[in-house]
Structure 1
């Protein structure tokens, strides 16, 4: 396990700069979630340079539709935004992998039986973070605490509760994104 944390990701920072106005006061909240996810994936498996780059894109866009499309039904819009970005950057070959990470990050059951699969590691990382470490998938609690101390919640979980409450009031018949896949 890599002991040092990744605290600066150029592509992630460039994307946050690009969309700063859309995130507003919640930019730090979401940025910290993105960095927690990246570090939780790395706590599960080593990454090569290309995988880290794909992970940066998927991590940035995975929930970004909440802010960029203004919807809590954000998986399709997040994936579309990522596809658009990949086209701009001439990285269309990565679309399948990035799409899988985004569209399956809330999946309750495994995406793959191969625990080293990047999409599966990303799915588990999101569940570790959203569950506040109750689900760990083999990541040591000490590592989770270190990641959480380095990238504090900054209101992320209360934001999820607020958005969930709005969704229930607005469309009680429509299940949350994590229950539709």
Structure 2
């Protein structure tokens, strides 16, 4: 695979986040950098083809947004709903099935083989890399992951997930179980 391309600025991502930054609040920097890391990985898996950039950027801005918009640990469906609403309201013209699929299947444990598999699978692999803090590498080298993490530091993102699990679930254990039941797909 060629060297990973790291884009430090993504105007579409910033535009999409503008509506939600205040709502995300103190968690914004961590979530934003998680989004940038996952976009970077997914676009690498898609050979940085421009035709996929808008859908990948949009899917990742929205993929976990239900944590903040709905205060929900089973956040896939709320995240999908917000993304689809905004896609329609702002006339972005993104394929709603692809947008929904990229969000819905990003925690799938096994490879995704359905419609739009190329993009959805790239997004799925990208999120697993970042959610596991690089323990799951999906073919990328440790050095490549370290470069991406250096460009977009964690800023407490994984701690935020633990805190939200506790806040929304009553305890880290109960919240963790709710998250697992609500978002992990086979």
Q: TM-score, normalised by structure 1?
A: 0.89
Aligned length: 180
- Give the gaps of 5 or more residues in structure 2: none
CA displacement, residues 98-133 of structure 1 (integer Å, 9 cap, x when unaligned): 10010000111111299x711011011101001111
How far the C-alpha of 1:42 sits from its partner, in A, is 2.2
How far the C-alpha of 1:63 sits from its partner, in A, is 0.1
- Give the gaps of 5 or more residues in structure 1: none
| Residue 22 of structure 2: aligned partner | 21
Q: Measure, in 2, the Cα distance between the counterparts of 1:89 and 1:138.
A: 36
3-12 or 21-30, which deviates more: 3-12
Contact residue 42 and residue 126 of structure 2 kept, 8 A: yes
7-16 or 60-69, which deviates more: 7-16
Matched, 1:156 2:157: yes
CA displacement, residues 128-168 of structure 1 (integer Å, 9 cap, x when unaligned): 00111111110121110000011011001111122233455
Contact residue 108 and residue 178 of structure 1 kept, 8 A: no
CA displacement, residues 7-61 of structure 1 (integer Å, 9 cap, x when unaligned): 1111110122222210111111110000000011123231432310000110000
Question: Superposed, which structure 2 residues align to 1:13-162 within 5 Å?
Answer: 13-112=14-113, 117-162=118-163
| Residue 8 of structure 1: aligned partner | 9
| Residue 179 of structure 1: aligned partner | 184
Computed over aligned residues only, the root mean square deviation of the Cα atoms, in angstroms, reads: 2.3
Q: Secondary structure of the residue that 1:26 maps to in structure 2? A: helix
Q: Secondary structure of the residue that 1:134 maps to in structure 2? A: coil
Contact residue 43 and residue 139 of structure 1 kept, 8 A: no
CA displacement, residues 63-83 of structure 1 (integer Å, 9 cap, x when unaligned): 011112221221111000000
Q: Measure, in 1, the Cα distance between the counterparts of 2:143 and 2:132.
A: 16
How far the C-alpha of 1:85 sits from its partner, in A, is 1.1
